[in-house]
Amino acid sequence: MNSYLRVSDEVEEAIRLKKPVVALESTIISHGMPYPQNVETALTVERIIREQGVVPATVGIISGTLIAGLSQSEIEHMGKNASQVRKVSRRDLPVVVSRKQDGATTVATTMIIAKMAGIRFFATGGIGGVHRGASQSFDISADLMELAETEVAVISSGIKSILDIKATLEVLETQGVTVLSYGCDRLPAFYLRDSGLAVDARVDTPEELAAMAYAKWGMGMKGGLLIGNPVPPEYEEQKGRIDAAISLALEEMEADHISGKEATPFLLKRIKDLTNGESLNTNIQLVYSNAKLAAQVAKAYSRYL
């Protein structure tokens, strides 16, 4: 195992015994919401996964050590000290590890660490992608390249609504990433259940999703799969309201010259404020739903091992 990686005893035993495990990111703890709600949400997500008979592995970096399976005290540490925790994507790993810093992992970095540990499935809220106006800024998330390279299936509610979803799908197609939707014909759009954009296939059971993952990796193909799971209907945002909030937040971000890794946290926080907290509740509920589905898919996949 990689010398920079520490796997919790529980996760290590599950992997050794070929039991299902689901990875979870830590940016939601340090950069997604305020304390103590961030810690409460992270622990609830772990509980949801356990209720399915699956082991959760929250991923993060503590004092330069990559960790698959943060303890409750480590999750608390990351939530309480969010301002001192660096948001870490692939390019940041050598800096954070060598300087022995704390880091919250993005989708891309969680995938990297999950693969190191031997974890095949990962639940998150929404993935990064092509930012609006990327034809001038060239701002494209590393999440997309990681999906093309790393053998981890990502269960999310699609691509974050603040992004250019159509352009993101085009990049994923170019990179050969299989994009699936669960129980619906089109890709969900994070706060909304329907982006209006087609995917490679609709899938209606966790068993079929597991079979597709097993087929891809069984053929020796590199890269992951993106599984879009729509937010539960009772928590879906109103399209006109959320679109207006996103547009205003984007205008303010441009006026304040905010870009790079600071863009997404700024936008999500501003949209939360503009919707009086409703968008944050939607975000939390879709993460819960994605965690449950990821656990079901991981359990189905474990039957192949």
**Phi and psi torsions of 55, nearest 5°:** -90, 125
**Res. 298: pLDDT tops 90:** yes
Q: For residue 254, name the pLDDT band (cuts at 50, 70, 90).
A: confident
**In this structure, which amino acid lies at residue 2?**
N
pLDDT for res 148: 98
Q: For residue 1, name the pLDDT band (cuts at 50, 70, 90).
A: low
**Res. 252: pLDDT tops 70:** yes
For 265-277, what is the mean pLDDT?
Answer: 86
**Res. 23: pLDDT tops 70:** yes
**Res. 260: pLDDT tops 80:** no
CB 147 within 8 A of CB 177: yes
Domains of the chain in start order, with CATH, are 1-119 (3.40.1790.10), 126-305 (3.40.1790.10)
For 195-215, what is the mean pLDDT?
Answer: 97
Residue for token pair 């409703």: 278
How is residue 194 annotated by DSSP?
-
pLDDT for res 249: 86
pLDDT for res 12: 98
For 169-177, what is the mean pLDDT?
Answer: 97
Q: For residue 265, name the pLDDT band (cuts at 50, 70, 90).
A: confident
For 243-250, what is the mean pLDDT?
Answer: 89
What is the chain's length? 305
CA distance 70 to 59: 6
pLDDT for res 226: 98
- Write down the mean pLDDT value for the chain: 94
For 22-31, what is the mean pLDDT?
Answer: 94
Q: Tell me the residue ranges of DSSP E strands in 34-174.
A: 55-62, 65-68, 86-88, 103-105, 121-123, 153-156
Q: Which of the residues are catalytic?
A: 25, 160
- Closest by CA to 88, choosing from 123, 64, 69, is 64
Which stretch of DSSP H or E encloses residue 228? Answer: strand 225-228
For 122-137, what is the mean pLDDT?
Answer: 89
pLDDT digits (tens, 9 = 90+) for 86-114: 999 999 999 999 999 999 999 999 999 99
Q: For residue 268, name the pLDDT band (cuts at 50, 70, 90).
A: confident
For 139-144, what is the mean pLDDT?
Answer: 92
Minimum mean pLDDT range among 55-64, 98-107, 244-253, 255-264: 255-264
**Res. 4: pLDDT tops 70:** yes
CA distance 14 to 201: 31
**Res. 84: pLDDT tops 70:** yes
**Res. 69: pLDDT tops 80:** yes
For 195-212, what is the mean pLDDT?
Answer: 97
